[in-house]
Amino acid sequence: MIRFSVQLFGLTVFAIALIWVVGTGEAVQTASAGNEILWADTVHLNVSEPATEKKIEKKKNTRDSFLRDVRKLTQTAYNIRNRYMEEVNTEEIIKAGIQGMLSSLDRYSVLMEPVAYNSLMESTDGKYEGLGMQIDARDNHIVIVAPIEGTPAYRKGLRAGDSIWKINDKPTDGMSTSDASKLMRGKAGTSVMLTIRRAGIDDLLEFEVERAVIALKSVNYSGIIPQTNIGYVRLSRFAKETSHELRDAINKLNDKNIDGLIFDLRSNGGGLLDQAIETAELFLPEGSEVVYTKGQFASSETHHYSSRPPIYPDKPLIILVDEGTASASEIVSGAIQDWDRGLIVGNNTYGKGLVQTIIDIDNDQEYHLKLTIAKYYVPSGRCIQKADRQGKKNSASHASAKKAKEEEDSDSLKISDQPIFYTNGGRIVYGGGGIIPDTEVERDLW
């Protein structure tokens, strides 16, 4: 009897252990080690559905949490590469991942591919190899907007309004300006054949144009306004040679003993910070603060001062601005206004006051990261950046800021609600982004 009881007890223990190991017999796959959950159903998850009211405690942004989050990215890329049902282009998914990270930042923080990077370098270097003309895609063809004076295109007789029908026997029907530019640019000394349709001439014209190094001037024009003794200087960009060109132009006007100067920064989208500082110091006393920057960390706060005596120190100065005056142009305008050195005339400026740096993110330098690292502030303490200029286009933050700006613009009394700052001489100037001119002038629309 005792022996039978022991055997029965042992059988019961074995049965319980077997059930524990094997399970109850239900066809359910678990997520234990070595077993994955494989779905074969038609359940749709609404990822856009608002989250429930469950409160989730925000994680602290520590070094360890950052490393854990980075591990999620690498693990996701690894799984896609090795386990997705079809072969994927890993370069494309990594690029998409980087663009996804940048999508929540400001609109100027972007991943730059070779074409965009080279274009940026050309604008700051002030030169490229090509024919020397501005083009646009119109009426299904490439149209010459304007040949640049002194370039191969200008010397060959190409005119504004000429329609380019072929580039080296390749038709331009439906061609983009970037594709046309690639075909026309090349090593200096080589040639390109252009087939042109010109208004008033029945036959197509052919021009063989030799490429050359094209210098992009920052000072487009300088001289004295007719029937006055007022100097005028037009500046289109802040590139590497800007301050040298400006210094030469103003010195020549000083030699003619001008009574005043009009400095035209309309539609000047900015450029290099050091050139903006060197431009401002042409007019401000040595040692004057021009601009300072502030970012996330205390080390990002940097103050920049004029380091040389001005060459145009005390005569009347007017700076022309408009909605296209941005970034470096706003730094110069804001510094001149804050030190009461001259009057700002025109329209409210664009409001782009973000500091960017270019970072190489791969060994072959094919991709570059243009990242915003700080904001610009003019001497009075005004931040140049407008809120509605910061978020990515079409983002929720951008739409919200834009709506607030539209409501503000619809109420003329709202200007008094902007933060108040004071110039060196005690005049009131308003913050809120951009530079508000001392004298506003309505522009004619043609």
Complete DSSP assignment for 38-91: ---S-----TTSPP-S---PPPP--HHHHHHHHHHHHHHHHHHHHHSSS---HH
Identify whether the C-beta of residue 109 lies closer than 8 Å to the C-beta of residue 370.
yes
The whole-angstrom separation of Cα 269 and Cα 155 is 29
327 is catalytic: yes
The whole-angstrom separation of Cα 337 and Cα 284 is 11
352 is catalytic: yes
Q: How many CB atoms lie within 10 A of CB 118?
A: 13
And the tokens for 1? 């009897």
Q: Which position among 106, 162, 338, 388 bears the catalytic label?
A: 338
Identify whether the C-beta of residue 437 lies closer than 8 Å to the C-beta of residue 345.
yes
338 is catalytic: yes
Residue among 181, 127, 130, 177 nearest 152 (CA)? 130
And the tokens for 301? 């706060």
Q: Which position among 327, 329, 333, 380 bears the catalytic label?
A: 327
Helices vs strands, H then E, count in the chain: 10, 21
Q: Which position among 166, 352, 375, 386 bears the catalytic label?
A: 352
Complete DSSP assignment for 263-325: EE-TT---B-HHHHHHHHTTTSPTT-EEEEEE-SSGGG-EEEE--S--SS-SS-EEEEE-TT-
- Active site members: 327, 338, 352
